[in-house]
């Protein structure tokens, strides 16, 4: 599956999801990946097909339990850029 859209989600869709979105953009640039749409939203927008990859913090993991593991990243620490880079590298098969 090619990842063309990533949706970062938090409880309100404004705070931490926006921070994660900006961090993802940085990591994608570092990895030389382009052409991927990255958006932030609330966990209520997590529905199959809404994105190719969903990213949430560990405390919101239960909200996206219906999404297959291959289509999600659960972050232990949303501020840990190394964790983000490691998990995105794995998802993109780099």
Q: What is the pTM (predicted TM-score) of this model?
A: 0.93
Q: How far is 50 from 4, CA to CA, in rounded Å?
A: 11
Please give the pLDDT value at position 21.
94
Please give the pLDDT value at position 1.
60
Q: The domain spanning residue 29 has which CATH number?
A: 3.40.50.2300
Successive 10-residue mean pLDDT values, the chain, 94 residues: 90 83 96 95 91 95 93 95 96 90
Domain of residue 26 covers 5-92
- The sign of the torsion formed by the CA atoms of 86, 25, 40, 46 equals negative
Please give the pLDDT value at position 25.
96
Please give the pLDDT value at position 11.
83
């Amino acid at each position: 599956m090619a990842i063309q859209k990533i949706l970062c989600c938090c409880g309100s869709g404004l705070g931490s999801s926006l921070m994660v979105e900006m961090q993802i953009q940085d990591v994608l640039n570092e990895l030389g990946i382009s052409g991927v749409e990255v958006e932030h939203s609330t966990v209520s927008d997590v529905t199959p097909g809404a994105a190719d990859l969903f990213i949430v913090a560990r405390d919101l993991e239960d909200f996206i339990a219906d999404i297959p593991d291959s289509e999600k990243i659960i972050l232990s620490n949303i501020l840990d850029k190394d964790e983000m880079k490691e998990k995105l590298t794995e998802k993109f098969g780099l």
